[in-house]
Amino acid sequence: MNQLSQPQAEIPDDALLVLYANGDAMAARHLSQRLLPRLLSHAFRMLNDQAEAEDVAQEAMLRLWKIAPDWRQGEAKVTTWLYRVVANLCTDRLRRRRGVALDAIAEPEDGAASVAEQMQDRTRIDALQEALNSLPDRQRQAVILRHIEGLGNPEIAVIMEIGVEAVESLTARGKRALAQILASRREELGYSDD
């Protein structure tokens, strides 16, 4: 697959989106190469299911293609808008899952395991993912956006459509819960008590 060349890599997301809306043949490929890995990773961290994460990422991109002709350059970040779409799609799927037996979603699928192998230090990352999965949806989303995706609280507030203080509260509670969950596995994960 072709990677973006240097000049194309410097084109902002919203400018590429405008190019796409104007009929540029390569803009969609460049945007997909740039954005799809992040959306897929975020959806996977939220859902812990590769097939569902792929569906969510595809749906989010589809909505981006649809809104492209009406996109107003400079008003919103494309990534923020996409994170919000992914967040809503994941929330919908997590709600639907609640009617499914817990055993059916507790373990990653075979495909998900192979995806996790792409990540460094698999044991710790798997442990963190497992702990994230046990958090309430909103806490999980806030913690992932803040501590894994590295977004600022104001941007997370826009994505989650809540106030900044609510974001701070969700991340603090989520982090505290994760620490409690993982405390019992310190030794197993290779963290000494020194």
Partner 1 sequence: MTDIKRNDDMLDDMFSQMRAGTDLAPSDDLMTRVLADAATMQPASAPIATPVVPARRPFLQSLLAAIGGWPAVTGLATAGVAGVWIGMIGGETLINGDVTSLLSGTETYLTALEGGIELTEEES
Q: Which residues bind partner 1 (CB under 8 A)?
A: 1, 20-24, 28-29, 32, 36-38, 40-41, 44-45, 53-54, 57-58, 61-62, 65-66, 68-69, 115, 118-121, 124-125, 127-129, 147-150, 175, 178-180, 182-183, 186, 189, 191, 193-194
Measured from the CB atom, is 113 or 161 closer to partner 1? Answer: 113
Q: Which token pair is 19?
A: 């190019």
- The answer to whether 181 touches 131, Cβ cutoff 8 Å, is yes
Nearer to partner 1, 97 or 175 (CB): 175
Q: How far is the CB of 72 from partner 1 (least distance, A)?
A: 16
Residue 103 or 187: the one with the smaller Cβ distance to partner 1 is: 187
Q: CA quadruple 116, 65, 30, 81: dihedral positive or negative? A: negative
For residue 27, the minimal CB distance to partner 1 (Å) is 9
Start-to-end Cα distance in the chain: 47
**Residue 35 CB contacts under 8 Å (≥ 6 apart), including other chains:** 13, 61, 64, 78, 79, 82
